[in-house]
Amino acid sequence: MSSSYVILGAGVIGLTTALELRERYPQANIIIVAKFLPGDRDAAYTSPWAGANWLSVATDNGRQEEWDRITYQKFKELATRTAEVGVYAMPITAVYDSEIEDAGVLSTGTGKIWLQGEARRQGIEIRRGMFGSLDELFTAFPDANACFNCTGLGSYSLKGVEDKSIYPTRGQIMLVESPKTPMTRMYFRSPQRVNKDTTYVFPRGPHNGVVLGGIRLDNDWSGEVDLELAEDIKQRCCALAPELGKPEDLKVIYHGVGLRPSRKGGARLERERFAEHLVIHNYGAGGAGYQASWGMAKGAVDLLQKDSRL
């Protein structure tokens, strides 16, 4: 009898975990269940509002850097595939007020939509659904060998988890029309590697718009767009990237607010027993979800082995 696994959550962490599972357990029955799916827009569903690039902020010389290293190598491999994957390499101009070490970048563009399509192509079932507790989940899937909890901020209130170490870091972006002359690089400016006043300009390919951001506000649960902040973001981004032109001439396609799933003590990648069931937690990467995604997915699947230690 083949193994059965349930992934709770369909952000970039949940989707990459499902694909890592499929690669390692090709005969397994894998189901993703989530309230939000790629294409949805909600502040609590962070992935659509992400800058969605690889720009490592890890400084621990440990597991965070390893997650980012693994993800970088995976993105590098994906960037050699067709444009449908939505991953490509692009130069970046990074400006810091204090000196830091070098960092590499890959933009992931429309990668999340590709992840969903790839999961379905590989026989992974994706369902829309909501569970308020682990009890409810295992009642619905009693034969599951393990559940991968990839709910991000949802772990704050999910009964059976209720992790009060997790908190939102509010971000705000806008997607604007691409300049007539396609942008050939990304831009990033911050007083330090991670700062609340970080400014970034991330083209989504030559003609798919440009993401402008941003802000980092810890413990702010508001999902409302701040239009005054949006004007400030325009000013900062146009000063950083002259190719954008004048702030007043930008054509805004949409504004977005995302609540990054930050966590005191860092991301949780941990194996836990819930009654007779196995739960593997994989959440809390904050704003590093994209650049750590494949590394965290590997770590989560490694934890299926009883003797795994992280």
| pLDDT of residue 47 exceeding 70 | no
Statement: residue 52 has pLDDT above 70 = no
Query: What's the pLDDT score for residue 111?
Result: 56
Average pLDDT (145-166) is: 98
Q: Is the pLDDT of residue 100 over 50?
A: no
- Answer whether residue 56 shows pLDDT above 80: no
> For residue 54, what pLDDT is reported?
56
Binding site, annotated residues for FAD: 46-47, 151
Q: Which residues are annotated as a binding site for D-dopa?
A: 200, 260, 287
Provide the CA 176 distance to its chain's centre, in angstroms: 21
Which residue positions form the known binding site?
46-47, 151, 200, 260, 287
What stretch of H or E contains 73?
helix 63-78
The pLDDT of residue 83 is 59
Question: For residue range 163-221, what is the model confidence (pLDDT) as tens digits?
Answer: 999 999 999 999 999 999 999 888 988 765 555 678 999 888 778 899 999 899 999 99
Mean pLDDT of 49-73: 68
pLDDT > 80? residue 55: no
Query: How confident is the model at residue 7, as a pLDDT?
Result: 98
Residue type, 166: I
Q: The whole model's pTM is what?
A: 0.85
What own/partner pairs with CB < 8 Å and gap ≥ 24 does 229-233 have? 229/172, 230/172, 230/174, 230/255, 233/172, 233/173, 233/174, 233/199
Label the pairing between strands 186-190 and 199-203: antiparallel
- What the chain holds in terms of domains, given with CATH numbers, is 4-302 (3.40.50.720)
Q: What is the pLDDT of residue 102?
A: 46
pLDDT value at residue 310: 44
Mean pLDDT of 56-85: 72
